Amino acid sequence: MSKLDHTRPFLPVRIAVMTVSDTRTLETDTSGTLLAERIVAAGHHLAARSIEPDDVDHITGCLKEWIADPEIDVIISTGGTGVTGRDVTPEAYEQVLEKRIEGFGELFRMLSYQKIGTSTIQSRALAGVARGTYLFALPGSSGAVKDGWDDILVWQLDSRHRPCNFVELMPRLREHLPASHD
């Protein structure tokens, strides 16, 4: 059950959106646009947006660049999570993730099942953390973006969500990394 504690401040996070597609452009990227609009409407900052081809090296390169950027807290991708030969987003994520958030994919598929039935089994939605940055991979349909954002991420990326949320953990995500010396 999602519950907001309005006595706590809302802390906007900086979110980058990656669409993985061989065919979409910024003009035809309905899923990426929908996600970007929802991010801004929720009060967060759209830190970056990119369209990357269904290619592990391209996806991984963009992920590494954004993970290294201190102005990006969260990366959400849409597309490339299916089971066809060109669907390689999970493989790219595996090259950068330090920790997986197993429950994200499980919860996404549970919620999706209520809407599309057993077809949800074709989704390899996943999430994790890399160098203090959260990463979430959603399927490329507008319906999947709505399910992932409206039913999970809008709540977990809200610092007022109780009993807990991802935002309150952000200061501790880099605890295991060596301290940088400027």
Section 2-27 average pLDDT: 94
21-59: per-residue pLDDT in tens? 999 998 999 999 999 999 999 999 999 999 999 999 999
In the three-class reduction of DSSP (H, G, I as helix; E, B as strand; rest coil), residue 133 is classed as: strand
Section 85-90 average pLDDT: 95
Residue 98 CA to residue 112 CA, distance in Å, equals 26
Q: How many residues does the chain have?
A: 182
Superfamily of domain 11-168: MoaB/Mog-like domain (3.40.980.10)
Q: What is the pTM of this model?
A: 0.95
Contacts 24+ apart (CB under 8 A), 23-28: 24/51, 24/79, 25/51, 26/51
Q: In the prediction, which pLDDT does 182 show?
A: 47
DSSP 118: G
Confidence label for 1 from pLDDT (cuts 50, 70 and 90): low
Phi, psi of 174 (to 5 degrees): -105, 15
> Are the C-beta atoms of residues 127 and 101 closer than 8 Å to each other?
yes
Section 147-169 average pLDDT: 97
Domain ranges of the chain: 11-168
Q: In the prediction, which pLDDT does 180 show?
A: 61
| Residue 71 CA from chain centroid, whole number | 16
> Are the C-beta atoms of residues 149 and 38 closer than 8 Å to each other?
yes
